[in-house]
Amino acid sequence: MKKTLLLAGVACLFSFGANAADYSMKELKPYVGLDYVYTNANVKKDTHVKKDYNSLAINAGIKMNDHIGLEAFFQQSGERKSMKGTIHEIKSEFYAYGLDMYGYMPVGCDGMSLLGSLGLANYNVKLKHYSAGSEDKQRMGYRAGIGAQYDFTENLAGRLMYRYSYLGMKELKNLNEITAGIRYTF
């Protein structure tokens, strides 16, 4: 399932070139990016799992015109420990990958755009209990985001976004994320 979603995302990124009757190569702009992600997780109270995570995300995308883009990403959080040194000690971390569709709305000053995104991601949450072993939980989640992007040059841009991800797990309902990152357009 993981490989299928990733391959489907990559195929979507490159399929626009094969189906480019309405697009000239000048309009298609592939890019890569790196983001810092702060995540606040809405966890069940009695799980004793930490609520905040720091992550890095890498992404590759294509801007099809001035208003629409498609982006694939991979995100990995750092490991968090809760209840250190007790029998209830839990280590937790997660990783995610998926595909987002972006809408860009240029505003006022040259190079500034407001962003909106909708996407689908596969989340894998790993929990390691001091006394009960470890478990992996995997779930598809829906994502929606808003933000802004500023193009410093034709090739380099900075981006700031807020994203809400719904997972619907028993222990983890949703994620609220703030991302800050850079994009390099080819």
DSSP string, the chain: -HHHHHHHHHHHHHHHHHT-SS--TTT-EEEEEEEEEEEEEEE-GGG---SEEEEEEEEEEEE-SSSEEEEEEEEEEPPEEESTTSTT-EEEEEEEEEEEEEEEEE-SSTTEEEEEEEEEEEEEEEEEETTTEEEEEEEEEEEEEEEEEEESSSSEEEEEEEEEEE---SSEEEEEEEEEEEEEE-
Given pLDDT bands bounded at 50, 70 and 90, which one contains residue 130?
A: low
Domain holding 120, by residue range, is 2-21+28-185
Find the mean pLDDT for residues 11-21. Answer: 51
- pLDDT range class, residue 172, cuts 50, 70, 90: confident
CATH number of the domain within which 87 lies? 2.40.160.20
Proportion of the chain above pLDDT 70, given as a percent: 77
The confidence score (pLDDT) of residue 181 equals: 97
Mean pLDDT of the 112-140 span: 86
- Mean pLDDT for the chain overall: 84
- pLDDT level of residue 75 (50, 70, 90 thresholds): very high
- pLDDT at residue 46, rounded to an integer: 60
Lowest mean pLDDT, pick from 65-74, 131-140, 143-152, 166-175: 131-140
Number of domains in the chain: 1
pLDDT at 49: 65
pLDDT at 129 over 80: no
